Chains A and B, each alone.
Chain A
Amino acid sequence: MSTRKISLSALLFFSVYLAQEAFVTQLHIGGGGFSLFLIFALLWAALSTPDIGALTGFVAGFLIDLSQSTNGAVGQWTFVLILVGFGISYLGLGYENVRMNPFTITFLVTSSVVVARVIYLLLSLLLGEKVGSFASIVASLFVGALWSAAIVPILMPFVARAYDFIDDSRHRL
């Protein structure tokens, strides 16, 4: 990975992270809303190789761990996103019909958001944290999935172009 790639990716990730923290978290959207940064990171991972996907998950997870809105232990989201980032990039690898189809990408990322949140929840339970009632968890997961399914198609063209620009390769979505 070249220095250009790393620096541009870092800049982009940091910008989206700032946008998430400064604006999206302030919106107080119903049902828990969505995480723009999480969707962006998983979209990025979906377009990457498994190594880069895991690394993306590590960086994104660590940044989410440092966020004010995260109550869990530092490293929890890092752990979750390493697995999910690796998984989503691994699933897409070699299946061009997955990467080149907006519907499958949307489905993949939306599912990954739900899976990531479920793993985080299970990890929280293992660490002895309080997670709320079953009904509220189900409602939150469902609303989160709906928001992700709505946001991914909007975000996808920008992420794909940015990825192409930084990666110097073409992914036709």
Chain B
Amino acid sequence: MARGGENRGRLLLIILIITSLFLITLDLRGVSIIGGIKTGTQSALSPVQSFGSTVISPVRNFFSDLIHLGRTRSEIQALREENGKLLTQIRERRGIDAQLEQLQGALDLAGKAEFKVVNARVISQGATTSFTQTITIDAGSDNGIRPNMTVINSYGLIGVVKTVYSSSALVSLTSDPSFRIGVRVAGSQQIGILSGQGSRKGVMQLLDNQSTIKVGDILVARGSVNNRPFVPGVPVGEVTSVDNAAGAVTQTADVRFFANFSALSIVSVVLRGPDSDPRDALIPAKPVPTPIPTVTVFVTPSQSPSPNASGSN
């Protein structure tokens, strides 16, 4: 009996080994049934594995963090440093973008007026100790800049070059209290004198007592002999209020300068003005208001029930 059992056991072992070798042969010969079984099993197991992955994920992450604690810390540190560098780059990029925008605007204006300009970066601003409104630019006599040259940016007049050094120049801003400029009202051609007030607001006084101005009038530079200190046609500002005092000889008006003096980064110095006065060609176009979408709702009242309909039964 024991021998019979032993023989049966050996036979089973041989059968199993032959079967396994048969399976190997079939698989190596690329029999599709074997491949199909494997593919089918894997397809059936995929949802279970997905579920398992979801369940195990927190545990796996925990152990992974535990094992790679030092590496994780150094990675976090490296990522922080990289993040800091990227943030710095983004901030620098924003500044560069703003400068580029200003430069493009100034060049557009200069190109339209056919000015020959030198672009410069504002390297310092203001002289609070002397109560003057000035900026220093990084271009000077080496770049062809001379005193009394007009300085503009994309919005219009900025000021006049006051002092020139070899590689820098001091510019007196239009907002400076000592600043005076002859201006012309675009369209009506009335002339006046605009004075700086130490802020973005200026005061204009008309020269002719017969002339009148109104809110919204645009002022441009009248221009000087040989285009110095002012080239003609450069937009200066817009009238915001008019003083119609009865005793005044001529009208005065408050003017808001187009240029924002607190956000200057790139300016252009006009080396050579236009051959002819551009007149009102440089006045910026009025912004077109964006239409606000409106929604119209039509309500059709429902037919009111007739008195006969209620309680008719």
Contact = CB atoms under 8 A, between A and B. Distances in A.
Interface of A: 18, 21-23, 25-28, 30, 49-51, 54-55, 57-58, 61-62, 65-68, 73-76, 78-79, 82-83, 86, 127
B20 to A, nearest CB: 4
Contact of B17 (A65, A67, A82): A82
Contacts of A50: 9, 13
B73 interface: no
B58 to A, nearest CB: 11
Interface of B: 8-9, 12-13, 16-17, 19-28, 34, 37-38, 41-42, 45, 48-49, 51-53, 55-57, 59-60, 63-64, 67
Contacts of A62: 23
A75 B20 contact: yes
Contacts, number: 93
Contacts of B60: 26-28
B21 A55 contact: no
A63 to B, nearest CB: 8
Contacts of A75: 20-27
Contacts of B57: 26
Contact of A78 (B13, B23, B55): B23
A30 B67 contact: yes
A58 B24 contact: no
A157 B120 CA distance: 84
A62 B21 CA distance: 12
B53 A26 contact: yes
Contact of B24 (A21, A26, A76): A76
B28 A26 contact: no
B12 A51 contact: yes
Contact of A25 (B16, B17, B27, B49): B49
Given A55-B12, A74-B38, A75-B21, A27 B49 contact: no
Contacts of A26: 49, 52-53, 56-57, 60
B67 A78 contact: no
Contacts of A55: 12, 16
Contact of B13 (A21, A25, A74, A82): A82
Nearest to B57: A26
17 contacts: A18-B45, A23-B52, A23-B55, A28-B60, A50-B13, A54-B9, A54-B12, A58-B19, A66-B42, A67-B41, A68-B49, A73-B24, A74-B38, A75-B20, A75-B27, A79-B20, A79-B24
